[in-house]
Amino acid sequence: MPDNQTPSDVLSALAGLLSTGGVSLVDLTRTLSPDDPTIVMPPEFGQSWPVRIERISRYDGKGPAWYWNNISFGEHTGTHFDAPVHWVTGRDLPCNTVDTMPLSPMLAPACVIDCTDACARDPDHLLTREAILAWEAQHGRIDPGCWVLMRSGWGRKTGADYAGLRADGAHTPGPDADAIRFLVEDRGILGFGTETIGTDCGQAAHLSPPFPAHHYLHGAGRYGLQCLTGLEALPERGALIFAAPLKILAGSGSPLRVLALVPGA
Ligand code: MN
Condensed to tens digits (0 to 9), the pLDDT of residues 175-228 reads 999 999 999 999 999 999 999 999 999 999 999 999 999 999 999 999 999 999
How confident is the prediction for the chain on average, in pLDDT?
96
Q: How far apart are CA 228 and CA 154, in angstroms?
A: 9
Query: Contact 99/75 with Cβ under 8 angstroms?
Result: no
CA of 60 to the centre of ligand 1 (A): 37
What's the pLDDT at 42?
A: 86
- Say which DSSP state 19 is in: H
What is residue 3's predicted lDDT score, i.e. its pLDDT? Answer: 76
Q: Judging by beta carbons within 10 Å of its beta carbon (0-12, 13-18, 19+), is residue 180 exposed, middle or buried? A: buried
Tell me the C-alpha distance between 134 and 137, whole Å.
5
Amino acid making up residue 79: T
CA 6 / ligand 1 centre spacing (Å): 39
The pLDDT of 125-146, averaged and rounded, is 98
- Whole-prediction pTM value? 0.96
**Mean pLDDT of the 45-54 span:** 95
The amino acid that residue 128 corresponds to is T
Phi first, then psi: what are they for 218, rounded to 5°? -75, -30
Ranking 2-11, 122-131, 228-237 by mean pLDDT, the lowest is 2-11
209, 73, 156, 240 alpha-carbon torsion, rounded to 10°: -80
Task: Quote the ligand 1 centre to 199 CA distance (angstroms).
Answer: 7
Cis peptide before 94 (omega within 30 of 0): no
* Residue 233: pLDDT over 70: yes
pLDDT digits 0-9 by tens, 55-92: 999 999 999 999 999 999 999 999 999 999 999 999 99
- Report pLDDT for 262: 98
Q: Which contiguous run of DSSP H or E holds residue 175?
A: strand 174-175
What is the average per-residue pLDDT within 136-155?
A: 98
**pLDDT for 264:** 87
Distance CA 127, CA 192 (A): 12
Average pLDDT over residues 138-158: 98
Which residues belong to the active site?
A: 86
Is the pLDDT at 1 greater than 70? The verdict is no
In percent, the amount of the chain with pLDDT more than 90 equals 95
Q: From the CA of 76, how far away is ligand 1's center (Å)?
A: 5
DSSP 149: E
Q: Report the percentage of the chain scoring pLDDT > 70.
A: 99
- What span, in angstroms and rounded, lies between the C-alpha atoms of 175 and 98? 24
Cα separations (Å) of 180 from 130, 157, 169, 175, 186? 12, 24, 22, 6, 10
Cα–ligand 1 centroid distance for 105 (angstroms)? 17
Residue 265 reports pLDDT greater than 70: no
How large is the average pLDDT for residues 120-134? 98
Evaluated on CA atoms 199, 204, 205, 209, the torsion sign reads: negative
Q: What is the mean pLDDT of residues 37-64?
A: 94
3-class SS of residue 244 = coil
Mean pLDDT in residue range 230-248 = 98
Q: Which residues contact 230 (CB under 8 A, 6 or more apart)?
A: 26, 27, 28, 155, 260
Q: Which of the two residues, 191 and 5, has the higher pLDDT score?
A: 191
Question: Distances from the Cα of 45 to the Cαs of 30, 174, 190, 198, 218, in angstroms?
Answer: 26, 22, 29, 17, 21
Q: Look at strands 147-151 and 107-114 and give their pairing.
A: parallel
For residue 149, the model assigns a pLDDT of: 98
